[in-house]
Every structure is written in structure tokens, then in C-alpha cells.
Amino acid sequence: MTFTPHTAAQRADMLNTIGVKDFGELLGAIPDALLLDRELDVPGLHGESDLMLKSHEVLAQNRFIPVNRVFAGGGIYPHFVPAVVDAIAARGEYLTAYTPYQPEVSQGYLQSIYEYQTYICLLTGMDVSNASGYDGGTTLADAVVMAWHHARGRRGRVMVVPSVNPKRLGVAQTYGLGLGIEFEEVAADQLEAALGGDVAAVVFQYPDYHGRLQENIEELIAAAHNSGALAVVSYYPVAAGLLKNPGELGADIVCGEGQCLGNRMAFGGPVLGFLACTDKLIRQLPGRLIGRTICERRDNPGDEFSQGEGFVMTLQAREQHIRRDKAQSNICTNQALLALRSCIYLGLVGRTGFIENAKQCHANACAAFDALVALPGVEALHPGAGFFNEFTLKFPPGKADEIYDNALEHHMLAGFKPDDAEGCLAFAFTEIHRQTDIEALVELVREVL
């Protein structure tokens, strides 16, 4: 069976219509050195059964790591996903639906987004949330651009308090290039002196890239406000089960990665970003806001109208359709299916279950930390610093790489190597880990040392 979207005659007709002899003329702007001058090296045709067997051969080359032997975080975490999340999210009306362009017709989806927004506000302590974003990096970029727009472009600097995930920060820096936003990393104890009237925002990560909890973050946020800057917090929402949320700390904008709320790691994606802010910034918030209202409705044509509850598209920053230079964001969609999964997950675990999960994450991390730092030559990167479920350790020269590689051979992911900490490994623990998993990790590290 072949698939040819256009026949040779149709292609010739299109080329003739636009006044071009052959398709090659359309590639004239591309340098010759970049053009492939041979046929594609594509395998020949396969029958379905042969293709299936070939796929299995390729997949067999993967190194399988059980989810409970993944001890890495850095933004993506191995949390347990209840089966009911898959069951509901796989229903056809959700799985095949796209973001609603005729919103009031899609009452079920609007209700799920409304409830998702409510959950995000509860977790972050913010007043409003949008309908979701692409990931933790793009929502951090959106948060920075929000702050820049709030200052009407008159404040061009953004201060970054270490340590913010460098990959997310890289996305924000790329977004800022066109606006002329300058990013400057400054130590926490030097922030107040470095602030000035040209700073639009101060960016924090809580807990930070190394898992550390900044003890005086409330004071630092207050210092940002005193200079007229907004406080942007990139946040791991599971921490809300035990710690003060960013709203309680004084944040103006909160963003982060929602994969940890009912979504699997899936090799790093797809994921979803969340973005929330205070009421005063609602007009700067990109994306969509779903609201609940009282309306007249009828369930079937010919029925009499009755008064009932309805969900509506309350606000959407859609300047990207008409004034791209003034747009808050030029991403014209959201991750509605993954946001739905988060909504199902949070509704399922409830407040009590969420808190219990957070307690288990912290307890597992504490148990692992105590066992690992008791080994010879192992020490905390930030001695005495508090952490939630993630921490970074220093190892003797060459040992971090050896531990990481040896763990892979034993079907285990022993943390990740932070970009800004040579000879270190960052470990993360969640409710999915058991005592035997922690003991296996500790024993592997002991053998390498």
C-alpha cells in the first residue's frame, strides 16, 4: 500500500501556477552545501509483521530501568500514577479533543480546565492560573516576559538567584533576546545591593536546582518588592504538601512543571507547564482563563431554557493573532490533555493523600541522605541546607561518573550530573521508592567507593 498525497500531474499544475519549472527552484535560498545530492538512505518496504518484529529488535536494545530505581529529578520525577488517571483521560471525548475554539460548546473540557486552574491556585497560593503551558521552561520564559510587560519595557534587567535549572533558564534567556532583556545571576547575600530601578523581576527556584531550600527567601522577595521588581518563583508543586507555597512567601508569579501531578516521565515528554499570578497581573497572563458563571441553557433543541451553571472562556491574551510584537506569548495552544490528567490526579488523591505523598517523599529523601553521607568521602554540596525530596552530593574525584555508569549497568539511574557542579550527583526520591530501593542505591555507591 502506498500513500501519495499529490500525483505528478497535480504537482506540475501547482508549480505551473506559481511560475516555477521544478521543485528545486523553491530551494534557491538554501546554500548548495546544505542540500543533499543523493537519494535518502531509507530501508525498503516491509510487511506489517516484518515491521513489527524489526521494531521489537530495535526496542530490545533499550536499557530498561524500573521506575522505582530512578533516583533522578531535576524537573521530571518518578511519581506513582493511579490507573484511574489513564482510564478517564483515555476516553475518546478527552483523548481526541483539541483546545476548544468554540469554547462554550465544550462544557466538559471547560469544567476540567476550570478545576485544573483552581488546583494550581491552591498549590501555588496565587489568585489566577492559566489553562496550562508547554513545560516548565516555557512558563518560566512567559513569567519573565510578563514582568517585563508589567514594567512597560522600562526595566530591562532580570536578576537570577542561584540555583535555577539552567535548561529552563536557557529558554527564558532565548525568549528575552528579542526584547533586550538582560539576565544577571547574583548570590542571595548580594541581591539587595544589586537591585535597582531597572530590574523587572527576580527569579527564584524553590526548591532550587540542587534541591536546596533557600532559608531567607521571604526576605529576598521583600527586597525585590522594595526595589519595584516582581518576584518570579519556579516551583515544584509537590512541596506544597509540607512547605509554605510561593504565595505565602510573597511571590507575584509562580511557574513550574506539572509532570509530577499525574503524568509519567515518558523520556522527558510530553509534559505541561503551569503559570499563575496575583490579580494585579491578570492582564499580563498569556493563554486562556476559564470562568464559571450562571447562564440560561437548554440540553436539547426545542427544550425551554433553564437557569444553570456554565463554564466560559473568561479571558484570553490573544494578541498573537493580530499584534505579534505586543503579544504576551506566541504559543497558541496549551497541554489540555496533560492538564486534565493533573486535574484527575489531584481530585483523586485529595488534600490528605497529597500531604501524605509529600511526607513520604521527604522521609525517603532523609533516609537516603543520612545513609549516603555516612559513606567515606561523600558530603553534601550545601552542608546544613534544608531540602524537600532532592539533594546534591559531592564525591571523590572521578567517583560520580563511575557511580552513574555502574548504576546504569545494574538497571538503575543514580541521580543526574548537575551542569554547574563538577564531581556531584543530584538525587531525588518520591513516594514510589521503597526501603529496599534506597538500600540498593546505597550499596551500589558503597561498592564503587
Judge if 370 and 381 occupy the same domain. Answer: yes
Judge if 343 and 356 occupy the same domain. Answer: no
DSSP 403: H
Residue where one domain finishes, among candidates 332, 347, 362: 347
DSSP 147: H
Judge if 378 and 263 occupy the same domain. Answer: no
pTM, 2 dp? 0.88
Q: Interior CA angle at 80 toward 79 and 81, to 5°?
A: 115
**Res 102: pLDDT:** 64
Mean pLDDT for 196-210 is: 97
Task: Round to whole Å and give the CA distance between 437 and 433.
Answer: 6
By DSSP bridging, strand 199-206 and strand 157-160 are: parallel
Whether the pLDDT of residue 343 is over 90: the answer is yes
Phi and psi at residue 31, to the nearest 5°: -60, 145
List strands edge to edge, sheet with 379-380: 379-380, 390-394, 424-428
State which amino acid sits at residue 339.
A
Judge if 386 and 424 occupy the same domain. Answer: yes
Judge if 328 and 357 occupy the same domain. Answer: no
Judge if 402 and 332 occupy the same domain. Answer: no
Evaluate whether 378 touches 207 at the Cβ level (below 8 Å).
no
Mean pLDDT for 307-312 is: 83
Mean pLDDT for 391-406 is: 97
By DSSP bridging, strand 287-297 and strand 424-428 are: unpaired
Evaluate whether 109 touches 97 at the Cβ level (below 8 Å).
yes
In a domain, 182, yes or no: yes
Ramachandran quadrant class, 28 (left: phi over 0; alpha: psi -120 to 50; beta: rest): alpha
Q: Mind listing the pLDDT tens digit for each residue in 117-136?
A: 999 999 999 999 999 999 99
Task: Round to whole Å and give the CA distance between 372 and 377.
Answer: 10
Evaluate whether 284 touches 276 at the Cβ level (below 8 Å).
no
**Res 1: pLDDT:** 45
Q: What is the CATH number of the domain that holds 205?
A: 3.40.640.10
Judge if 71 and 111 occupy the same domain. Answer: no
Whether the pLDDT of residue 137 is over 80: the answer is yes
Percentage of the chain surpassing pLDDT 70?
94
Mean pLDDT for 148-160 is: 94
Before 82, cis peptide (omega within 30)?
Answer: no
Task: Round to whole Å and give the CA distance between 411 and 303.
Answer: 61
Of 79-83, 287-291, 378-382, the range with the lowest mean pLDDT is 287-291
Mean pLDDT for 24-48 is: 88
**Res 177: pLDDT:** 92
Whether the pLDDT of residue 18 is over 60: the answer is yes
In a domain, 330, yes or no: yes
Mean pLDDT for 168-192 is: 95
Q: What b-and-e string marks burial along 128-155, b requiring 16 or more CB atoms within 10 Å of the CB?
A: bbbbbbbbbbbbbbbbbbbbbbbbeeeb
Mean pLDDT for 403-422 is: 95
Residue where one domain finishes, among candidates 317, 347, 377: 347
Count, in order, helices (H) and strands (E) of the chain.
13, 12
Q: Which domain range does residue 440 map to? A: 67-78+350-448
Phi and psi at residue 276, to the nearest 5°: -140, 160
Q: 318: pLDDT confidence band, cut at 50, 70 and 90?
A: low
Q: Mind listing the pLDDT tens digit for each residue in 216-255?
A: 999 999 999 999 999 999 999 999 999 999 999 999 999 9
**Candidate ranges 35-39, 87-91, 267-271; pick with highest mean pLDDT:** 87-91
Q: What number of other Cβ atoms are within 10 A of residue 24's Cβ?
A: 9
Q: 335: pLDDT confidence band, cut at 50, 70 and 90?
A: confident
How many domains does the chain fold into? 2
Whether the pLDDT of residue 42 is over 90: the answer is no
In a domain, 8, yes or no: no
Q: What is the CA radius of gyration of the chain?
A: 25
Phi and psi at residue 390, to the nearest 5°: -140, 140
The mean pLDDT of the chain is 91
In a domain, 73, yes or no: yes
Residue in the block written with cell 534557491: 28
Judge if 203 and 107 occupy the same domain. Answer: yes
Judge if 313 and 414 occupy the same domain. Answer: no
